[in-house]
Amino acid sequence: MTTSVKSLRVPGAAGDMAIFIQGDDSAPAIYMTTSILSSSMMWDAQAAMLAQRGWQVIRADTRGHGESQAPIGPYAMDDLVADVVAVLDALRIDRVHYVGLSLGGISGFGLGIDHPDRLLSLCLCDARADAQAAFASPWDERINAARRHGCAALAESTTERWFGTAFLEAHPAIARRFREAVAATSVEGFEGCARALQKFNYLPHVARIVTPTTLVVGANDGPLPQAMQNIQEQIPGAKLEVIAGAGHLPNIDQPDAFNDMLLRHFQRVALEKPY
């Protein structure tokens, strides 16, 4: 087994995707996807931890983010779901444990609904299943700012929304790293994904998800704890984990609690549905 990281480019549904693989390539695979305006670096700590414990870990940069190409938009959420399936096909991997946060979590709902045959389990973090008006409308202002000034114009407001000012001031290295990731995002990729976020609606279909599912949310993440509780009640057998003291990226601001949750998820799945 090796925990070194291998970087590859593989065909997505509409352009090359950057992926990063580490761990035991003969072990069951964990596929990790990210929030909008971030990149696979947000999973660095969790990927290293899981690889050291014997898993194969695959992290993917969403189209137009990190090192992945940005096809011409607009995109639909189902396009991002199709990217995951295309990457798995390119890697010749039948089924994965899928871990997605925010935008990546939303894609996970689509995978669970339409592609259960590609999944061993779902761990979906800080994600809605529908685009209500209060969620959808702010993206117009953000898109306009990015068009005028690039995604760097979104760096301060986005990281403050994710972490809060106090956390950013107390952790300047994390603040700098995530602001740089926001600023490096292509405007085309950001706008395409933001448009996808404005018009999806998986909520009427989440009851069709049969994959073992854990839903995770930071206790301080606005309306999402209640939204995810409502989703949990509709997915048969789904578990909900609320992480105290966490915001929108609980794997970053409460990493120990988040990592414990991840391990509980995989232990539960192994007991309920051995693979």
pLDDT at 1: 42
- Contact of 58 with 81, CB cutoff 8 Å: no
Cα distance between residue 216 and residue 219, in whole Å: 9
Query: Residue-wise over 32-53: b if at least 16 C-beta within 10 A, else e?
Result: bbbbbbbbbbbbeebbebbbeb
pLDDT at 272: 75
pLDDT at 11: 73
Nearest to 88 by CA among 17, 169, 38: 17
- Contact of 54 with 1, CB cutoff 8 Å: yes
Cα distance between residue 87 and residue 97, in whole Å: 14
Cα distance between residue 156 and residue 175, in whole Å: 9
> Domains along the chain?
6-132+201-272 (3.40.50.1820)
pLDDT at 275: 54
C-alpha distances (whole Å) from 62 to each of 7, 100, 186, 253 are: 15, 11, 11, 22
In what helix (H) or strand (E) does residue 190 lie, and over which residues does it extend? helix 187-198
pLDDT at 2: 44
Nearest to 33 by CA among 58, 60, 11, 12: 60
pLDDT at 9: 80
Q: What averages of pLDDT result for each successive group of 10 residues across the chain (275 residues)?
A: 70 83 95 98 97 96 95 92 95 97 98 98 98 96 98 98 97 98 97 97 98 98 98 98 98 98 95 65
Sheet holding 56-60, edge to edge: 6-11, 16-23, 56-60, 29-33, 96-101, 119-125, 213-218, 239-243
pLDDT at 74: 86
Q: What are the tens digits of pLDDT across the range 165-195?
A: 999 999 999 999 999 999 999 999 999 999 9
